[in-house]
Amino acid sequence: MRRTLLTGVATLLMVAATAGTALADSCANVSRAAPAGWTPATTYTAPLVQGGWVWLPSLTAVFGPTAQFPPFWGKITPGTADSVLLGAPGMNGNYTNGKTVSLLGVSAVCDQASQAFVVRQTDHGIQSGCE
Protein backbone atom coordinates (compact mmCIF):
# COMPACT_ATOMS: atom_id res chain seq x y z
CA MET A 1 0.00 0.00 0.00
CA ARG A 2 2.76 2.47 0.90
CA ARG A 3 4.68 1.66 -2.27
CA THR A 4 1.54 2.39 -4.31
CA LEU A 5 0.99 5.65 -2.44
CA LEU A 6 4.59 6.73 -2.85
CA THR A 7 4.45 5.91 -6.56
CA GLY A 8 1.27 7.95 -6.87
CA VAL A 9 2.74 10.90 -4.99
CA ALA A 10 5.93 10.73 -7.07
CA THR A 11 3.83 10.66 -10.22
CA LEU A 12 1.79 13.63 -9.04
CA LEU A 13 4.94 15.60 -8.27
CA MET A 14 6.40 14.78 -11.67
CA VAL A 15 3.18 15.78 -13.42
CA ALA A 16 2.91 18.94 -11.32
CA ALA A 17 6.42 19.93 -12.33
CA THR A 18 5.60 19.57 -16.01
CA ALA A 19 1.96 20.60 -16.21
CA GLY A 20 2.46 24.19 -15.11
CA THR A 21 -0.23 26.34 -13.62
CA ALA A 22 -3.10 23.88 -13.61
CA LEU A 23 -1.38 21.66 -11.08
CA ALA A 24 0.32 24.26 -8.94
CA ASP A 25 -1.87 23.25 -6.00
CA SER A 26 -0.35 20.41 -4.06
CA CYS A 27 -3.15 18.81 -2.15
CA ALA A 28 -4.65 15.48 -3.11
CA ASN A 29 -7.40 13.36 -1.60
CA VAL A 30 -6.15 9.82 -2.12
CA SER A 31 -9.05 8.27 -0.19
CA ARG A 32 -11.97 9.83 -2.07
CA ALA A 33 -13.57 7.44 -4.53
CA ALA A 34 -13.24 7.94 -8.27
CA PRO A 35 -16.26 9.35 -10.09
CA ALA A 36 -18.99 6.78 -10.78
CA GLY A 37 -18.22 4.75 -13.89
CA TRP A 38 -14.66 6.01 -14.27
CA THR A 39 -12.11 3.77 -15.98
CA PRO A 40 -8.60 4.61 -17.20
CA ALA A 41 -10.06 4.78 -20.73
CA THR A 42 -12.60 7.48 -19.80
CA THR A 43 -12.27 10.67 -21.85
CA TYR A 44 -13.39 14.13 -20.80
CA THR A 45 -14.58 17.16 -22.74
CA ALA A 46 -14.12 19.47 -19.75
CA PRO A 47 -12.43 19.27 -16.35
CA LEU A 48 -14.57 17.46 -13.76
CA VAL A 49 -14.86 19.83 -10.80
CA GLN A 50 -16.87 18.93 -7.70
CA GLY A 51 -16.84 21.65 -5.10
CA GLY A 52 -13.24 22.69 -4.58
CA TRP A 53 -11.82 19.44 -6.03
CA VAL A 54 -10.86 18.44 -9.57
CA TRP A 55 -10.60 14.85 -10.81
CA LEU A 56 -7.01 14.96 -12.12
CA PRO A 57 -7.49 12.62 -15.12
CA SER A 58 -10.16 15.04 -16.39
CA LEU A 59 -7.45 17.66 -16.95
CA THR A 60 -6.73 15.90 -20.23
CA ALA A 61 -9.59 18.09 -21.51
CA VAL A 62 -7.30 21.10 -20.93
CA PHE A 63 -3.86 19.66 -21.65
CA GLY A 64 -4.73 17.10 -24.33
CA PRO A 65 -5.13 13.33 -24.45
CA THR A 66 -1.39 12.66 -24.21
CA ALA A 67 -1.18 14.30 -20.77
CA GLN A 68 -0.93 11.76 -17.96
CA PHE A 69 -2.51 12.52 -14.61
CA PRO A 70 -2.77 10.28 -11.53
CA PRO A 71 -6.24 8.92 -10.75
CA PHE A 72 -7.18 10.94 -7.67
CA TRP A 73 -8.76 14.23 -6.68
CA GLY A 74 -6.68 17.43 -6.48
CA LYS A 75 -7.66 20.43 -4.36
CA ILE A 76 -8.29 23.72 -6.12
CA THR A 77 -7.11 26.29 -3.59
CA PRO A 78 -9.37 29.38 -3.65
CA GLY A 79 -7.79 32.50 -5.10
CA THR A 80 -5.16 30.72 -7.19
CA ALA A 81 -4.75 30.75 -10.96
CA ASP A 82 -6.05 27.16 -10.98
CA SER A 83 -9.34 28.16 -9.37
CA VAL A 84 -9.84 30.94 -11.90
CA LEU A 85 -8.91 28.66 -14.84
CA LEU A 86 -11.36 25.98 -13.70
CA GLY A 87 -14.12 28.32 -12.49
CA ALA A 88 -14.05 26.71 -9.06
CA PRO A 89 -16.02 27.95 -6.04
CA GLY A 90 -14.15 30.74 -4.30
CA MET A 91 -12.07 31.38 -7.39
CA ASN A 92 -11.54 34.98 -6.38
CA GLY A 93 -10.83 34.16 -2.74
CA ASN A 94 -7.60 34.81 -0.91
CA TYR A 95 -7.15 31.60 1.05
CA THR A 96 -3.49 31.99 2.05
CA ASN A 97 -3.07 35.72 1.44
CA GLY A 98 -0.82 34.91 -1.52
CA LYS A 99 1.79 33.11 0.63
CA THR A 100 1.39 29.67 -0.96
CA VAL A 101 -0.67 27.63 -3.42
CA SER A 102 -0.78 24.67 -1.02
CA LEU A 103 -4.03 24.11 0.84
CA LEU A 104 -2.21 23.61 4.14
CA GLY A 105 0.85 25.70 3.26
CA VAL A 106 0.43 28.12 6.17
CA SER A 107 -0.64 25.50 8.71
CA ALA A 108 1.28 23.65 11.41
CA VAL A 109 1.34 20.62 9.10
CA CYS A 110 3.81 22.49 6.88
CA ASP A 111 5.83 24.06 9.70
CA GLN A 112 8.80 21.71 10.04
CA ALA A 113 9.34 22.86 13.62
CA SER A 114 5.86 21.80 14.72
CA GLN A 115 4.77 18.51 16.26
CA ALA A 116 1.96 18.32 13.66
CA PHE A 117 4.60 18.11 10.92
CA VAL A 118 6.48 15.35 12.75
CA VAL A 119 3.50 13.08 13.46
CA ARG A 120 1.26 13.61 10.44
CA GLN A 121 -0.03 10.56 8.59
CA THR A 122 0.86 10.23 4.92
CA ASP A 123 -0.79 7.02 3.78
CA HIS A 124 -4.48 7.96 3.52
CA GLY A 125 -6.89 10.88 3.42
CA ILE A 126 -5.93 14.34 2.27
CA GLN A 127 -2.26 14.88 1.54
CA SER A 128 -0.73 18.31 1.10
CA GLY A 129 2.55 19.56 -0.18
CA CYS A 130 4.10 22.57 1.47
CA GLU A 131 5.16 24.83 -1.41
- List strand residue ranges (DSSP E) for 5-48, in order: 27-29
Q: How far apart are CA 84 and CA 1, in angstroms?
A: 35
Interior angle at CA 84, CA 79 and CA 89, nearest 5: 70
The total domain count for the chain is 1
Q: What angle do CA 115, 130, 50 make, to 5 degrees?
A: 110
- The better pLDDT of the pair 127, 108 is held by 108
Comparing C-alpha atoms, which of 96, 62, 66 is closest to residue 79? 96
The model carries a pTM of 0.60
Query: What mean pLDDT value characterizes the chain?
Result: 73
Question: Largest alpha-carbon pair distance within the chain?
Answer: 44
Give residue 2's pLDDT.
53
Q: How many CB atoms lie within 10 A of CB 90?
A: 15
Tens digit of each residue's pLDDT (9 = 90 or more) over 53-82: 999 999 999 888 888 888 989 888 777 777
Segment 13-24 shows an average pLDDT of: 42
Tell me 50's DSSP state. Answer: E
Question: By residue range, what is the domain housing residue 78?
Answer: 2-128
Q: Give the start-end residues of each E strand in 13-107.
A: 27-29, 49-50, 53-55, 73-75
